[in-house]
A and B are shown apart, each in its own frame.
Chain A
Amino acid sequence: MATTEQPARHVGARVPRKEDPAMVTGQARYTDDLTVPGMLWVAFVRSPFAHATIKGIDTSAAKAADGVVDVFTGADLADDFAAPIVCAWPIVDDIKIPEHWPLTKDKARYAGDKVAMVVADTRAGAKDAAELVEVDYDPLPAVTDIELALADGAPILHDDLGTNLSMTWRHSEHSPVPARGKPEDVFPAADVVIKEKYRIQRAVPNAIEPRSIIVEPSPAQGEFTMWSATQIPHIVRTVLTLMTGVPEAKLRVIAPAVGGGFGSKLQVYGEEALLLVGSRKLGRALKWTEERQEAFVATTHGRDVVQEVELAADRDGTLRGVKVRIVCSMGAYMQLLTPGIPLLGAWLYGGAYESDAYDLEINGVFTNTTPTDAYRGAGRPEATYCIERAMDALARELDMDPAELRRKNFVPADAFPNHTIVSGLIVDSGDYHASLDRLLEALDYEGLRAEQKARRERGDNRLLGIGLSTYLEMCGLAPSRVAGAIKLVCGLWEAAQVRVMPTGTVQVMVGVTATGQGHATTFSQLVADQLGVEIDDVEIIAGDTKQMALGMDTYGSRSLAVGGIALHLAGEKVVAKARAIAANALECAEDDLEYDTGTFTVKGTDKTMHVKEAAFAAWTAHALPDGMEPGLEATHVYDPPNFSWPAGAHGCVVSVDTETGEVDIERYVAVDDCGVVVNPAVVEGQVQGGVAQGIAEALYEEAVYDEEGNLSNGSMTSYLVPTAAEIPPIETHHTVTPSPTNPLGVKGIGEAGTIASPPAVINAVIDALSGLGVTDVQRPATPQNVWRAIEEARQ
């Protein structure tokens, strides 16, 4: 299965996760587990109003409280910042990005906007004193709905911008690669045009570990060490340098054990900047740990998109064109990547299908809500939801089987390698028919259709629905040139360093930081095979800018497809150097050596040298080839030539109680093609977790704002994160088309489940009820929303 030159021993095996013993026994140390001597605690005063002018802040009572060291407002810290919070993805030239300070000075623009920072000697003391800060708010009308925010007379969040519309991006105007054709050339003459409108609700990422930050200053050296529950310690370091003026060389950022992120920790937060600035001002170590309820408003949200889609097709089902307009909530401000999130799906609204024409318009809108940013899948779940719902709608319109319609339109396997899809990007590989065929077989699709018919005919009040969702996603972010062409401020290469120690163990430094994905296990498998060592002889070091200075961090299913390739290529450099050492020691030419899983053999002899022996020789340096540097180590920085292109087909089977609207998932089957699988257990875990999160979006979760702009369900009681009791067994299958773009043939799997599953579930619900005339159901498809869809269809 592997494309590496030596036979695999560990790659492809279900190796138990190395990181689990520490996590399940409580020995893993998360930021909140850490204590620094002399540390003070921080609490933030947050606006209870979604929109209000701040007329004054009186901190005197808080400052006078027992144990309070200081209280800062935005005005107090005006001179401590070199720049406001950074938005690194201005996707169009005329984008409107408002000034965004860690402590707002003039206005609160969402319920949760930070107004003051309290520093005290205990956590409870800081929290108590925060209640004593008196803020004189003059409440203003708030707008939380994206469409209302664009209406005439809507409250304007940023007075200096004069509008709530931040930007409009059009594929036809802004994409660096052109679409195959223009919708205006296709739609007028099309046999069939369908128009649909979908609303993707706002979601709260809810990592199990809330955010936590410690900053410890070393005033004599002017140095700072920050521990932060983040996915991106390297980017945090660079951005905080820009924001605070602390030199990059004097700032060390450590992400210790991190308990999930799902994009919400792909961020440089105001709190991080404030703790850094506060510790510089006070010369004291500071700590802040987010409370769960605080996290609901203070940590970025995801999705919140309205989509209008039109598909043009021939009567026989041949897809001719895709035209989409979406309106996305930015929230009250731009965070690190906010405007770029919809762009990550901007070439994927055509799905895995061929057609002749494509266009997409993205509008970004400010509302009085928590800023949005990446949430598992970031842009791609939105695109997949849109096209997969629309394909089902088209199938209904044409009275075609939805599987047949998909099959008819897939990009054929023989179009690869390197096929230019309708939106203009080049997809390296895939076999979409194979995934769908595998899915239909696993589902017993024909049997299910028969069962569905039987239930309908006998008037069963538990109707069966079968939902399909096929997807194509781009991940393995990303070629830096492409990142630049679509106006991301940074590159998206990745780095790794491999060092074989004198005793033969291997130290591996990687730039990607794990938040629970199993990096240490997966990377150890690669190294173990490449260098002929045991899994436990490989030490993976990550998440510390001092130990591994290079890295672009973790998001976009890139850890293996980009970071793993950097690691593989660094390993190849180590093997090459070891080869030179071995040839020297074995007195032969390098070409006379065969290499297999750590061992060099002189062809046709039994003379061998292992990489470990070469490492010892490299350490003693007694007899190295002339001019060779001692030590056996190498670094590689890898910039991928293309994205990677996972794809797949998911199927969901539901029973819907037509009396109550309850949806019961009877089966969920996932067929994913993530290229070569390094560790099937890790991959299955990613798919299962991702599907669970997608089912959550389809059936349970929604951040709801009331008319005043307060988050109505900002707690674990009222925001319905499903538990193990709600998630059905998830059957996972794989097809494998190795990526020709990278030497390991891998593609990435971190987001596939979340991308594929919401349309599978919603399509299943609608499929169950289509006989009653139901064509849409509001997400999440709670019993009440399903019941209302049935009632509306009956009228």
Chain B
Amino acid sequence: MIPAPFEYEVAESVDHAVELLTTREDAKLLAGGHSLIPLLKVRLARPGTLVDIGRVSGMVGVLDAGEHLVVGAMTTLSDLVADASVSVGCPLLATTAAQVGDPQVRHRGTIGGSLAHGDPASDLPTTLLALDAELVVRGSGGERTIAAADFFVGFFETALGPDEILTEIRVPKTGAAGTAYLKFHHRAIDWATVGVAVVVESQNGSISSARVALTNMGPAPVRASAVEAALAGADRGAVARAAEAADRGTDPPSDLQAGADYRRHIAKVLTRRALTQALS
């Protein structure tokens, strides 16, 4: 309820935010606050300075760039759900965002904050991994682009440097591919016990490619490569058997929500159901 004392600065621009991150000790970015503030309240996070990027212009909204969408990092999840170019160009992003938290969280929480937090139980990282998205970050050394597969490094750990800000996400459009994000959780507002995002391209019942990514089956979101390999070039009848390999190569945690064995079982069931849904 009562955070430890901290300094508070309002960043006026991305460069200003980078400068504050560079010069202040233990500086931490405040975006929507829906991951950070709960940690502050119980003093698990004790930053020296909070750098509020809520008033930086140009970081909100979705731009249709033809082959892909450019999503500003400060776009809220509810804006993603409601955005017309997202529902047309990449509906998976909208359906994933719609399953995060509750309406209050989605109205305040941002896509950038969610990705930068690196929570293994978070939904959007998995979907961006399945979508082969790219993340654009800026720091004192300038701007760079990181593939989603390289961004999520470990347990609450990303490729972001201490002075870097995630500014935008480039999300390839999914075109005619079938997609689904299924989240297994106990209460509607809970984090995913397991989640699965699938992007399947198929024609006349024959699967040309399948991308499958899993939530909370390891310290970071992970691609279910064995499933993908089993489905490439297969017909849809192969789904059930392929899904049995969903947990291969994963390292699911055992925690209060679920044991690792249960997570492995759920990953298989969920993968089968998500692929079936995406193909229907």
- Could you list which residues of chain A lie within 8 angstroms of chain B, going by C-beta atoms? 123-124, 127-128, 291-293, 659-660, 700, 704, 712-713, 715, 717-718, 720, 722-723, 725-726, 782-784, 787-788
Contact = CB atoms under 8 A, between A and B. Distances in A.
B187 A712 contact: no
B265 A725 contact: no
A722 B187 contact: yes
A293 B1 contact: yes
Q: Which 8 pairs between the two chains have the least Cβ-Cβ distance?
A: A725-B188, A291-B1, A127-B2, A784-B262, A659-B269, A124-B2, A784-B258, A293-B42
Nearest to A461: B269
B265 A726 contact: no
Contacts of A783: 184, 186, 193
Chain B contact residues: helix, strand, loop or mixed: loop
A725 B186 contact: no
B196 to A, nearest CB: 13
B4 interface: yes
Given A123-B2, A726-B187, 14 more contacts: A124-B2, A659-B269, A712-B256, A713-B256, A717-B38, A718-B256, A720-B187, A723-B188, A723-B189, A725-B187, A782-B186, A783-B184, A784-B257, A784-B262
Nearest to B263: A784
Contacts of B189: 723, 725
A783 B42 CA distance: 29
B269 to A, nearest CB: 5
A723 B187 contact: yes
Contact of B42 (A123, A659, A712, A715): A715
Contacts of A123: 2
Given A726-B187, A782-B186, A292 B5 contact: no
Given A128-B5, A660-B266, A704 B256 contact: yes
Nearest to B5: A128
A713 B265 CA distance: 24
Contacts of A715: 42
A787 B263 CA distance: 11
A713 B186 CA distance: 15
B190 interface: yes
B264 to A, nearest CB: 12
Contacts of A659: 269
B259 interface: yes
Interface in B184-209: 184, 186-190, 193
Given A124-B2, A128-B4, A700 B187 contact: yes
A292 B42 CA distance: 10
A334 B144 CA distance: 61
Interface of B: 1-2, 4-5, 38, 41-42, 102, 184, 186-190, 193, 256-259, 262, 265-266, 269
B173 to A, nearest CB: 32
A717 B37 CA distance: 13
Contacts of B4: 128
B188 to A, nearest CB: 4
Contact of B269 (A660, A704, A722): A660
A655 B210 CA distance: 32
A715 B42 CA distance: 10
A96 B1 CA distance: 37
B116 to A, nearest CB: 19
A713 B266 CA distance: 23
Nearest to B269: A659
B33 to A, nearest CB: 15
B1 A787 contact: no
Contacts of A720: 186-187, 190
Nearest to B102: A723
Nearest to A782: B186
A128 B259 CA distance: 37
A456 B106 CA distance: 40
A278 B81 CA distance: 53
A787 B187 contact: no
29 contacts: A123-B2, A128-B5, A291-B1, A292-B1, A293-B1, A659-B269, A660-B184, A660-B266, A660-B269, A700-B186, A700-B187, A712-B256, A713-B256, A718-B256, A720-B190, A722-B187, A723-B102, A723-B187, A725-B187, A725-B188, A725-B189, A726-B188, A782-B186, A783-B184, A783-B193, A784-B257, A784-B258, A787-B265, A788-B262
Contacts of A293: 1, 41-42
A112 to B, nearest CB: 14
B119 to A, nearest CB: 11
B5 A787 contact: no
A784 B42 contact: no
Contacts of B42: 293, 715
A705 B270 CA distance: 30
Nearest to A661: B262
A128 B46 CA distance: 12
A723 B189 CA distance: 8
B111 to A, nearest CB: 21
A516 to B, nearest CB: 22
B5 to A, nearest CB: 7
A178 B163 CA distance: 76
A646 B254 CA distance: 44
Nearest to B3: A124
A201 to B, nearest CB: 13
A123 B189 CA distance: 31
Given A700-B186, A726-B187, A787 B256 contact: no
A659 B257 CA distance: 17
Nearest to B4: A128
Contacts of B38: 717
A718 B191 CA distance: 10
A788 B176 CA distance: 40
A278 B14 CA distance: 50
Q: Which of B102, B188, B189 has the most CB of A within 10 A?
A: B189
Contacts of A784: 257-259, 262
Contacts of A704: 256
A291 B38 CA distance: 13
A718 B257 CA distance: 8
A471 B192 CA distance: 37
A720 B190 CA distance: 9
A660 B262 CA distance: 9
Nearest to B1: A291
Contacts of A726: 187-188
A704 B262 CA distance: 19
Contacts of A782: 186
